[in-house]
Copies of this chain bind each other. A is one copy, B any other.
Amino acid sequence: MAEDTSAQQIENYLAAADEAFAGWSQTPAAGRADVLDIVADALDAAAGQLIPVAMKETNLPEARLAGELKRTTFQLRLFGQVLRDGTWYDARIDQADAQWPMGAPRPDLRRTHIPLGPILVFSASNFPFAFSVAGGDTASALAGGNPVIVKAHSGHLELSALTGEVVTQALADAGAPAGLFHVVFGTEAGKTALLDSRVKGSGFTGSIPGGRALFDLANSREEPIPFYGELGSNNPVFVTKQAASLRGAEIAAEFVGSFTLGAGQFCTKPGTLFIPRNSGMREALAAAALPPGAKLLNSRIQSGYVEVLQALSGHASTEVLVQGSDPLADPPSPTLLVTGIEDLLADPRALQAECFGPTALVVEYDDEEQLVAAAKTFEGQLTATLQAEESDEVAQLVRIAASKAGRVLWNQWPTGVSVTYAQQHGGPYPATTVASSTSVGTAAIARFVRPVAFQNFPQHLLPAELQDGNPLSNPRLVDGRTVS
């Protein structure tokens, strides 16, 4: 078991990270990409050591963890590719223009993005690789040119220490600046680092209360810093009458697969399924073969799950639709509750609470107009899903869903978040603390860089991505026109 990091050690790490910033931020992007590749290779090579430790600490099965590690190293390499492509600079060049119609000559202005400084990453319980020590926040912060300090999650301390050693050794092998990367342990270590003036930004994945407390702390600083927290989401799914009629049994089976995937411990788990009354879907769900109970990540998650499940099932309007033999045991059998849409509309906050684990709520409706009304009652979400047919009149429902969520799906399921260029894993509060950001996909790098414009500069003092002749061949916006 890793010991809590001492105050002196934290001070040493912060000083080292601050010192490493100059060298890393000045390493050309392509050089940083090479380093990320080397880190990815080292993690892949260490899979045989890492995965057994992860299995022991998180109760997650080997295949899932192997897949997650693959996703994690793919992510590091994808950020490397983005660094080489140069799209992330959002480079803009305005040439001097004496006739600029603003009323005064336009100077030569060139805008790019630069890193912020040391970034503090709070890692997640449910993704011991992909949202932890070497996960998406770390990858995007390093890619952007920032040192990283990771606060290990208490649910997988040994894995965090081991992953940290692999990453630190790989960074050294790759010739990255010493002190670029550190893992710290303990709640106090995280708070101390968050309040330190050398830390310039933070990423977080976890619960609403925990994330909000840290968000408030980040904003309480003399110099507030951006705090990118991904907190909680219910991820509603809306099934139209046509879809229920044409594919009801199939949708029911896929829904059960999605809400019980990983024992329901995904931030994109569909927590609410809206189905038409008297469509046969209720019966299909009631008859569904639920998977057996699986141990949750740790005892804190287990007790938190039982508490929320008891609140939901104890709500006056809900009843059990189907559940395994031991819904409150450890491991817990999955549970499907059911209620009517009028009840959901009457008490949305209670019935839309996120239940982290293998429980979901089925809501029966009569009229598709009610889906629009129900969608409007949700707080900010990571995802919202429609199961519908192309001839359905759902434009308004899509619009409301998009106004509530960062990602809207059509006839697919929200679990399984692909790491791509167009991915958006974010959403209005409380899904995240910064709705304009994503924590998955290549746009995640934007969280840890900021724009700077150079006015009237000589070529040799400009960053390469802004120089005449475009030596890095990155796409640019020149006089307002995209040049690729």
Interface residues of A (CB under 8 A from B): 22, 26, 67, 70-71, 74-75, 81-82, 85, 87, 92-94, 100-104, 106-107, 109-111, 114, 116-117, 215-216, 219, 223-224, 226, 379-380, 390, 394-395, 398-399, 402-403, 405-412, 416, 418-424, 426, 428-430, 433-436, 438, 442-443, 446, 449-458, 460-461, 475, 477, 479-484
Contacts and interface: CB of A to CB of B under 8 A. Distances in A.
Nearest to A224: B429
Contact of A226 (B26, B215, B436): B436
A22 B455 CA distance: 40
A203 B415 CA distance: 36
Contacts of A483: 484
B453 A423 contact: yes
A450 B479 contact: no
A154 B102 CA distance: 27
Contact of A477 (B74, B107, B421, B429): B421
Contact of A421 (B92, B418, B420, B430): B92
A102 B224 contact: no
Contacts of A408: 452-455, 457
A461 B398 contact: yes
B107 A412 contact: yes
Contacts of A116: 435
B424 A452 contact: yes
Given A94-B421, A219-B216, A480-B81, A70 B103 contact: yes
Report copies per complex: 2
Q: Which 10 A-B pairs have the closest CB atoms?
A: A424-B453, A92-B422, A482-B484, A475-B482, A111-B422, A109-B422, A94-B422, A409-B455, A70-B103, A94-B420
B433 A224 contact: yes
Interface centre among A82, A416, A435, A452 (most CB of B within 10 A): A452
A408 B112 CA distance: 12
B390 A458 contact: yes
Interface of A (DSSP majority class)? mixed
Contact of A409 (B92, B456, B458): B456
Contacts of A117: 403
A443 B477 CA distance: 11
A310 to B, nearest CB: 25
7 contacts: A71-B102, A107-B412, A407-B454, A410-B454, A410-B456, A428-B450, A475-B482
Contact of A419 (B87, B102, B379): B102
A106 B426 contact: no
Contacts of A379: 223
A479 B394 CA distance: 28
Given A436-B450, A477-B422, A67 B394 contact: no
B407 A455 contact: yes
Contacts of A428: 223, 450
A83 to B, nearest CB: 12
Given A87-B480, A403-B114, A106 B418 contact: yes
Contact of A410 (B92, B224, B457): B457
Contacts of A81: 480
Nearest to A484: B482
Interface centre among A92, A102, A422, A460 (most CB of B within 10 A): A422
Nearest to A104: B416
A215 B224 CA distance: 10
Nearest to A453: B424
Given A74-B103, A436-B446, A87 B477 contact: yes
Given A219-B219, A429-B223, A433-B224, A480 B418 contact: no
A460 to B, nearest CB: 7
Given A411-B456, A434-B226, A479 B421 contact: yes
A461 B71 contact: no
Contacts of A226: 434-436
